[in-house]
Amino acid sequence: MGAPPGACPVHVPGDEGATAIAREPLWHAYATGVDRPAPPAWAGLAEPPPPEHVPPPAPGGGARAPLPVGAVRHLQAARYPTVGGAPAVPQALGHALATAFAPLRREPANPYNDHRPYASARCLFPVQAVLADPHRARLLDPARRALVDLPGRGPGAGEEVLLTGRYAAVPRGYRWFRGSLVDLESGFALRSLALALGLHGVAGRLVLPDGQRDAGVPHALGLPAGEHWSLPLRVQVGAAAGPDPARSTARAERVDGDPVLAEVLAADRAQRSDGVPAPVHHGVPDGLAARDRTWADVLWDRTSGRMPRGLHGMAGRRRRVPRAVLDDAARWVAVPPPGTTLAVAHAELRASVAVQDVEGHGDGLHVVRDGLPVPVRPEAGLPALLERHYGYPASPVNGCDVRHASAVWFLSFRPRAVVDRIGPGGWTSALRAAGWAAHGLCLAAAAHGLYARPVRAFREEPLQSVLGLAPDETVALAVVVGTPRHADALLDLRL
């Protein structure tokens, strides 16, 4: 994954100190060939701040069918890290959907609820799952653990799970970053689904989207026609049913009063795919350290770090951790997603990690090569240095213990290089690959009783010198991994 770091000058699009939200469209413009991108015309428009956003009601309104109960019992009998080999269970697909998407618990002191199997910015969960076939489509309602009838039908010849991002679920204040959040979460959701299918013995085949073919699929499913959705990742789960039926999905998309979203949609529709299904693997690497745990334990323990009394941010405590904490995480991050395009984008990612107090590994900067953490620069106290460059410092209402982290991971890529290899959709593919890798880091941390918090709040200019990034390289996502400081009452929602 990626090339070794080296010293480089600070040179990133945008003004000194610009936020990731402001820089996102500039990086994308650079990726697609603009050498010196200028702020877009809409950059000066006022938008309501993200905390004021109220997501629209969930789509649906049709008949509901509950998901089967009993998935947690199956997971309690499945030893980590083994996947497969257990007897098939009835309603395996329903159990897999519950495992991948249904809430695990409510945390009374957490301002963002409910806690699902994968991380989402501000618990917005814009990526929706739809179970569809040629005759009907049903939206997964995770909170109610039910499938809700939609008025449309699936685009394929057989049964499949479609993952599509609902841009209306993300605050307009995030501007162009709305598209990136949907792309990153699509990677998280895909890996969560892939693991769940593997744990319950359901075979899957991934069909990547194409903007010329699939733009109309979300609305053909019966999702709200007045909203805008990302091109869906389609995971075929039924018996192979032959090629997709011929269909006309071309539609003119108008975005009134939101020029930013119009550009986000254009970037999403730039994806190209031959539509050939690729086998979905469970995403669990070989060689993980043996743990006396079940998959129910690991999924339950996935956390982004708790704060007490409804406060925001993360809190941790510094301690020495076993070597396997870093070795296992490197294995998880190195597993590529299914599908040739996503695998190519994954190969373009560089995984760098600032390490401290890990047995068998020196403090300092490491990079992942061939699934192993390789030291590139010894340096004590690197997480404390990174905390000074984090956008949400400790305050009376926010916790920030980056300095106490065992590992701070950075998933970076060179946007133009990815687009040169994949085409205009390379930007989206790289972010999906980063989301896939980051969810692996979250699971690796949970297996060792650690928290893992995906973030995008580190300032870019300092990161270039600290991590040795190339001048044309940007960080897609970071993950802070450490030991939780606060215990809390947890209400179990698993069935």
My answer on whether 161 and 40 are in the same domain is no
Last residue of a domain, one of 210, 244, 279: 279
pLDDT at 249 exceeding the cut of 60: no
C-alpha 319: how far from chain center:
28
Residue 49: partners with Cβ closer than 8 Å, 6 or more residues away: 171, 173
Supply the range of the domain harboring residue 129: 63-279
285 domain residue, yes or no:
no
Tell me the pLDDT tens digit for each residue of 24-36.
999 999 999 999 9
C-alpha 245: how far from chain center:
31
Last residue of a domain, one of 279, 310, 335: 279
DSSP state of 79: B
What is the distance between the alpha carbons of residues 99 and 200, in angstroms, rounded to a whole number? 9
Strands (E), 217-295: 233-236, 278-279
pLDDT at 407 exceeding the cut of 80: yes
What is the distance between the alpha carbons of residues 327 and 353, in angstroms, rounded to a whole number? 12
pLDDT at 251 exceeding the cut of 80: no
Provide mean pLDDT across the span 374-393: 96
Output phi, psi for 324, to 5 deg. -60, -20
Are 334 and 371 contacting, i.e. CB atoms less than 8 angstroms apart?
Answer: yes
Provide mean pLDDT across the span 123-131: 96
pLDDT band of residue 68 (cuts 50, 70, 90) is: very high
Tell me the pLDDT tens digit for each residue of 135-153.
999 999 999 999 999 999 9
My answer on whether 28 and 81 are in the same domain is no
My answer on whether 167 and 247 are in the same domain is yes
CA angle 139, 233, 352 (to 5 degrees): 120
Are 463 and 1 contacting, i.e. CB atoms less than 8 angstroms apart?
Answer: no
What pLDDT score was predicted for residue 3? 43
Q: Tell me, what amino acid is at 290?
A: A
* Both tokens assigned to 121: 């910015």
* H/E segment holding residue 213: helix 211-214
Report how far apart, in Å, the C-alpha atoms of 221 and of each of 56, 62, 162, 170 are: 18, 13, 10, 21
My answer on whether 351 and 480 are in the same domain is yes
Number of independent structural domains in the chain: 2
C-beta neighbour count of 6 within 10 angstroms: 9
Provide mean pLDDT across the span 285-295: 95
Tell me the pLDDT tens digit for each residue of 75-115.
999 999 999 877 778 999 999 999 999 999 998 888 888 89
My answer on whether 106 and 252 are in the same domain is yes
Are 317 and 404 contacting, i.e. CB atoms less than 8 angstroms apart?
Answer: yes
Tell me the pLDDT tens digit for each residue of 54-67.
888 888 788 999 99
What pLDDT score was predicted for residue 25? 94
* Both tokens assigned to 310: 């409804």
Here the CATH number for the domain that contains residue 255 is 3.40.109.10
284 domain residue, yes or no:
no
Chain position carrying tokens 């509950």: 66
Are 165 and 182 contacting, i.e. CB atoms less than 8 angstroms apart?
Answer: yes
* Both tokens assigned to 317: 């405590």
CA angle 331, 336, 339 (to 5 degrees): 165
Output phi, psi for 374, to 5 deg. -115, 125
Last residue of a domain, one of 227, 256, 279: 279
Provide mean pLDDT across the span 329-336: 98
Average pLDDT, the chain: 92
Is residue 319 classed exposed, middle or buried when 0-12, 13-18 and 19+ CB atoms within 10 A define those classes?
exposed
My answer on whether 35 and 115 are in the same domain is no
Provide mean pLDDT across the span 378-403: 95
What is the distance between the alpha carbons of residues 401 and 381, in angstroms, rounded to a whole number? 13
5 domain residue, yes or no:
no
My answer on whether 272 and 312 are in the same domain is no
168 domain residue, yes or no:
yes
Chain position carrying tokens 């209402």: 397
What is the distance between the alpha carbons of residues 37 and 32, in angstroms, rounded to a whole number? 10
* Both tokens assigned to 256: 């009134």
Pick from 427, 390, 470: nearest CA to 177: 427
My answer on whether 29 and 159 are in the same domain is no
My answer on whether 302 and 444 are in the same domain is yes
* Both tokens assigned to 407: 């590992």
Provide mean pLDDT across the span 284-288: 97
58 domain residue, yes or no:
no
What is the distance between the alpha carbons of residues 440 and 454, in angstroms, rounded to a whole number? 11
pLDDT at 11 exceeding the cut of 70: no
My answer on whether 258 and 115 are in the same domain is yes
Are 67 and 97 contacting, i.e. CB atoms less than 8 angstroms apart?
Answer: yes
What pLDDT score was predicted for residue 5? 43
What pLDDT score was predicted for residue 8? 41
Dmax over CA atoms of the chain, in Å, equals: 60
What is the distance between the alpha carbons of residues 424 and 437, in angstroms, rounded to a whole number? 21
My answer on whether 370 and 391 are in the same domain is yes
Q: Find the range with the poorest average confidence among 46-60, 150-164, 351-365, 370-384.
A: 46-60
What pLDDT score was predicted for residue 176? 94
Provide mean pLDDT across the span 149-167: 96
270 domain residue, yes or no:
yes
57 domain residue, yes or no:
no
My answer on whether 345 and 216 are in the same domain is no
Q: Is 485 left (phi over 0), alpha (psi -120 to 50) or beta?
A: alpha
Q: Tell me, what amino acid is at 454?
A: P
What pLDDT score was predicted for residue 488? 81
2 domain residue, yes or no:
no
Tell me the pLDDT tens digit for each residue of 420-455.
999 999 999 999 999 999 999 999 999 999 999 999
Residue % of the chain over a pLDDT of 90 = 79
User: CA neighbours within 13 Å on the CB side: how many for 47?
Assistant: 22
